[in-house]
Amino acid sequence: MSRLCEGRVAIVTGAGRGIGREHALSLAAAGAKVVVNDLGGNVDGSGGDLSPAEQVVQEIKAMGGEAVSNGDSVASWEGAQRLINTAIETFGDLHVLVNNAGILRDRVLVNMTEEEWDAVIAVHLKGTFAPARWAAAYWREQSKAGKPTDGRIINTTSVSGIYGNPGQTNYGAAKAGIAAFSNIAALELSRYGVTVNCVAPVALTRMTEGLGPAPETDEEREMRSPRWIAPIVTWLASTESAGVTGRVFEASGQVLAVAEGWVRGPKHAPLEDPTQLGPVVEELLTQARKNSGMDGVPGGWPQPRS
């Protein structure tokens, strides 16, 4: 691999296993100095163990790279600040923040508990906001001081969030929120030389192994390997991506695509009388593209029971 990220300092959250581990290794192979953040919890967020992060650090050092571990919770305001400071204090700067940490508490809406909702929103949505906020504050100060920034925030959304998946109202809401957050943050941070983008990965990891049929062949397993997500993240982390911001990239072993956001579809002049709206709405829906399914293709969205 060419040294796309030579000399850059990157933080990857949730980097002890799965997709985050692949990000950390790929960034290190591209020349970045990496802060490997991982609380080391279970899929549902319980527990904690720094050893997965430490193992990734050792893998990076074995390949001649530089890395340090961090076990702070990204959902903690103070923990997120310590995470950003770890990069600055250890490596002297920060160029890239990859927000990847996540948990699952899947449940259909009618059975979901408040705690299951709050836990997922905290780790995914607040766990994206808090590190991004402290990183943005650092880059703003650098910019005000006249120093070049060229910062990157790369967030992790999901096809479950941008297209929808039953049983994941908490996870999907958080992931859709991350996509909206990224779009707005991209607008706000461009003045400081910072880009903000999203990746929607599809891969077989601890978090997803029970969500669908298991791969039956080596080829299927390879196509669902988390390693396919790392190339686009590594490129977005590089200086080459300076002109790309506010975008969502779908990434898997089957496709690399740009997901297009909400757009205004068919329209009609406003009406005051709600009794006149039936045929108007019917006509608008006839003209509009149907919602996309999990494959991103319009028309694949499950229809409600009649």
Q: What local confidence, expressed as pLDDT, does residue 213 receive?
A: 60
Q: Which amino acid, one-letter code, is at 53?
A: A
Q: What local confidence, expressed as pLDDT, does residue 244 receive?
A: 98
DSSP class of 122: I
Contact call for residues 236 and 243 (beta carbons, < 8 A): no
The string of DSSP codes covering 203-262 is ---TTTTTSSPPP-SHHHHHHT-GGGTHHHHHHHHSGGGTT--S-EEEESSS-EEEEP--
Domains of the chain: 9-259 (3.40.50.720), 266-306 (no CATH)
Write the Ramachandran bin of 198: left for phi over 0, alpha for psi from -120 to 50, otherwise beta: beta
Task: Tell me the two tokens of residue 218.
Answer: 């080596």
Q: What local confidence, expressed as pLDDT, does residue 211 receive?
A: 53
> Which residues sit opposite 153 in a β-bridge?
97, 196
- What gap in Å lies between CA 94 and CA 190, rounded to an integer? 16
Burial environment of residue 66 by CB neighbours within 10 A (0 to 12, 13 to 18, 19 or more): middle
Look at the pTM and tell me if it is higher than 0.75. yes
Q: What local confidence, expressed as pLDDT, does residue 176 receive?
A: 97
Can you give the length of the chain in residues?
A: 306
Contact call for residues 80 and 133 (beta carbons, < 8 A): yes
Q: Which amino acid, one-letter code, is at 225?
A: S
- What gap in Å lies between CA 54 and CA 47, rounded to an integer? 16
DSSP class of 292: B
DSSP class of 49: -
**Residue tagged 């003045």 (tokens):** 191
> Which residues sit opposite 152 in a β-bridge?
96, 195
Task: Tell me the two tokens of residue 224.
Answer: 């669902």
Which residues participate in catalysis according to the annotation? Answer: 171
Q: What local confidence, expressed as pLDDT, does residue 265 receive?
A: 96
Q: What local confidence, expressed as pLDDT, does residue 294 receive?
A: 86
Q: How far is CA 115 from the centre of its chain?
A: 22
Q: What local confidence, expressed as pLDDT, does residue 306 receive?
A: 38
- What gap in Å lies between CA 58 and CA 51, rounded to an integer? 10
- 298-303: Cβ within 8 A, 24+ apart: 301/163, 301/164, 302/166
| 146-191 tens-digit pLDDT | 998 999 999 999 999 999 988 999 999 999 999 999 999 999 999 9
Residue 11's H or E segment, with its range, is strand 9-12
**Residue tagged 């994941």 (tokens):** 168
Contact call for residues 12 and 20 (beta carbons, < 8 A): yes
Q: What local confidence, expressed as pLDDT, does residue 44 receive?
A: 61
pLDDT along the chain (306 residues), means of 10: 89 96 98 95 67 96 98 97 98 98 93 97 98 98 94 96 92 97 98 97 64 64 82 98 97 93 94 96 96 86 54
